[in-house]
Amino acid sequence: MSMKKRIFLCIIAIFLLVPLLIGTSSADSAVVKQGDTGSDVYAIQRRLNELGYLNYRPTGKFSDMTAQAVRQFQQINDIAPDGQVGRSTMQAIFSDTAKRNVINPEFKRIVGIPYSGEVTEKGALSAWETVDAIFRVGTKAQITDYNSGQTFGVTRVGGARCAQVVPETEEDYTVYSEVFRGETWEHRPVLVTINGVSYAASLFGQPTGTRAHNASGMLGYTILYFNNSRTDIFELADEEHILALTGIAADAS
């Protein structure tokens, strides 16, 4: 191969390589910031909700409240609090070791109706895989709020690593709303009765989504977590749900 041809091939290789290098550098330094919109923002908001830094439904728009939540997350997780989601903040947010927004992880928040002592039964601490095989999509279950003793029916509508559920009727939705005193981000310990067997679980108080799954009147769905359940997004553990399960489980199976 002649010298001229070698030089020509080297120049072509450089031209092909430069865009790749620029693209890699740009991706590594990408920042999701206030004013941005899209699926990245939505995923960040969902995760900040799970960690207790946001108290409203994800919108996909990086607003003032999202920036404030990011700064608070950064402060608690020892990251310079600039309110933007750069590479280090993104990795921290979606890490299994991300610190939750709680003053004391042993402090149980009760926003809804307080414990009345009416419920004495404990539920089986069955693994999610066991419950998933029994509690299929379309299956109905009875939920008993462990703190208040109130009960209401739900139907499973989805979820891969946890159960997405909706109240069965308007009356069931009314009880659900009373238990949480409206939409809250609280996680409450509950007993879930499926085919006559009660399981220990944790129920999320904030519906997610805008679709009406049935005639109950609730838009979206709420989430039931069982033993070793994880979030459907990024398959992360939720420490508040784990804490809610503590003390209401009868055994492991």
DSSP secondary structure, 81-100, as one string? --S-B-HHHHHHHTSTTPPP
Cβ-based neighbour number of residue 204 at 10 Å: 26
Q: What average pLDDT does range 57-69 have in this prediction?
A: 85
pLDDT band at 149 (very low <50, low <70, confident <90, very high): confident
Determine the average pLDDT of the residues in 60-87: 92
Residue 108 has a pLDDT of 44
Q: What pLDDT is attached to residue 11? A: 46
Element (H, E) at 231: none
Ramachandran class of 109: left when φ > 0, alpha when ψ lies in -120 to 50, beta otherwise: beta
pLDDT value at residue 153? 97
Q: What is the mean pLDDT of residues 231-244?
A: 69
The pLDDT of residue 239: 65
Which tokens sit at 28?
């590594």
Three-state secondary structure call for residue 200: strand
The predicted pLDDT at position 70 comes to 95
Q: Is the pLDDT of residue 155 over 80?
A: yes
Q: Which pLDDT belongs to residue 23? A: 38
pLDDT for residue 20 is more than 60: no
Rounded to the nearest integer, the mean pLDDT of the chain is: 79
* Confidence tier at 81 by pLDDT (50, 70, 90): very high
